Structure 1
Amino acid sequence: MTTASSERLILDAWEVNAQAWERAVRDRRIESRRLVTDQAIVEAVLSRAPRKVIDLGCGEGWLARTLAGAGVQVVGVDVVPSLVEAAQSHGGGEFHLLSYADVAARALKQRADVVVCNFSLLGEASVNELLASVPSLLEAGGVLLVQTLHPLAGTGTEAYRDGWRDGSWDGCGEGFGKPAPWYFRTLGGWLAAFRAAGLELLRIDEPLHPRTGRPASVIFMAG
């Protein structure tokens, strides 16, 4: 499968599964999010004491609403119309229907103290292009925060190398259709992607699942 076709399948799958995803987030069905990763990214963002945050791949806007409750101005971006509509209906920020290609083409004329991507970087070329645009979105001294599946947990039975993998909705509850593929990156793959985008890695955090003691995710901070 080519990168272009895989990238298209990501968008198709999210459009089809948007309502099921909104229910899963609203009902807090995903254990790792409920126990670890939601709070981890909120704390990571607030540790920077930002005035303004750009949430790339904001989904139905839960993170924006949480940060708004802490007095942070949030601009959210997503490519799925129904998710943007849901975010707008619940409030908590300013939300735009834009693709990562749009953002890479400088369609978002804003800057923020923190740009955050919370489990929203699933592609290959689209992500590389997006990361390259991040410096133009950051205020002086601003940082990018990326929370994603920990490479230790993402290998499964496959070899530890960058490449496309089949997706899964396991643990997300009922109502989902065909999952999206996603591009697995090793730790070295992520570091190379940041470096190619002109970003310097500042910190790596590995939130641990309280029941398994294993990393539930990894959070990269780059600037």
Structure 2
Amino acid sequence: MEDEKIIDSWNKNAEEWIRVIGTGQIDSRKFTNKAIENEVKAVSGNTVVDIGCGEGWLTRAISAMGKTAVGIDAIEKLLENARTKGSEKFYQFGYQDIIDGKSIPEAPFDVAVFNFCLYQKDGLDKLLSSTKNQLNGEGVILIQTLHPFFLFINGLSYKSQIISNSWKGLPGNFIEGHEWYARTFEDWVQTISESGLQITGFKEVLNEKDNPISLILKLK
């Protein structure tokens, strides 16, 4: 499931991403960060894996809750930065590793979190089912993704589709953006069903104008 163009884009933009996140330039994050933190806090279970952890802000936030948090990502440049900011453990480990059945370091976990890091069209069902296998019996998967309302506000038809540049619209001097796959609600439900999991809860995160900006899905 690894996409070389996605990996290449993140390697080229890692330092700029660290700068933008570190200086709080993405306004929507003041809503979405708090939302995913609250969802993790509300879930029972003490061990959490932050999948696609990037520079590790969420891993550190989860650790600050008193839970045991581990971060994994495919981009070593981001992990190197994450390791300088706290005592949490960070490992280079990609989606294909999970799908191939390789054990995530420190597994099994009570909770797995995907926070704005699911870009591909194909293979998501396999990734989710394989992630579930790395959790304890009652383990939970949390996904935060852009709300399907994104399609409307960008003047696009309401259907699942490939968006050409993942960095477009973000502050910062990003280069060579990669594609990502925007899903409708129906697509999310269908894909999750194909993974063998069920949606047991969801939250629509709103901004200051009461417009939906992200969707958080809870899966079992």
Whether the aligned pair in 2 keeps the contact of 1:163 and 1:184 (CA below 8 Å) is yes
What residue ranges of structure 2 are gaps of 5+ in the alignment? none
Deviations along 1:6-35, one digit per CA (max 9) or x if unpaired, are 93322211111111111111111100002x
Q: Decide which of 185, 190, 193 is 2:191's aligned counterpart.
A: 193
8 Å CA contact 1:24, 1:172 repeated in 2: no
1:129-187 deviations in whole A, cap 9, x for unaligned? 31121220221222110000001113522322222111243453222112111011111
1:95 aligns with 2:93: no
Q: 1:198 to 1:92 in 2, by over 3 A?
A: farther
1:94 is displaced (CA, Å) by 1.5
Match of 2:11 among 4, 11, 15: 15
**Aligned position for 1:167:** 165
Aligned to 1:142: 139
Task: Give the distance between the partners of 1:98 and 1:176, measured in 2 at CA.
Answer: 24
RMSD of aligned residue pairs (Cα, Å): 1.7
Q: How far apart, CA to CA, are the structure 1 residues paired with 2:213 and 2:162?
A: 21
Amino acid across the alignment from 2:164: D
Matches within 5 A, 1:206-221: 206-210=204-208, 212-221=209-218
Structure ranking higher in helix proportion: 1
Letter in 2 for 1:15: N
Aligned to 2:23: 27
Task: State the 4+ residue runs in structure 1 displaced beyond 4 angstroms.
Answer: none
Tell me the SS of whatever aligns to 1:85: helix
Matched to 2:172, the amino acid is E
1:43 is matched with 38
Please, which runs of 5 or more residues in structure 1 have no aligned partner?
Answer: none
Q: TM-score, normalised by structure 1?
A: 0.91
The two structures have a TM-score, normalised by structure 2, of: 0.92
Aligned 8 A contact 1:206 1:216 in 2 = yes
Worse-matched range after superposition: 171-180 or 76-85: 171-180
Which of residues 45, 49, 53 is equivalent to 1:54? Answer: 49
Match of 1:76 among 71, 75, 84: 71
Counterpart in the other structure of 1:153 = 150
Structure 1 partner of 2:61: 66
Count of residue pairs brought into register by the alignment: 217
Q: Any idea what the Cα deviations from partners look like across 1:53-100, whole Å, max 9, x if unmatched?
A: 011100000001111111111111100110111112212422111110
Partner Cα separation in structure 2 for residue 130 and residue 92 of structure 1: 28
**C-alpha separation in 2, matches of 1:21 and 1:128:** 28
Between 112-121 and 146-155, report the one with greater CA deviation: 146-155
Q: How does 1:125-140 map to 2 (within 5 A)?
A: 125-140=122-137
In 2, Cα distance between the equivalents of 1:89 and 1:163? 37
Q: Structure 1 residues 19, 126: CA separation in 2 closer, same or farther (over 3 Å shift)? A: farther
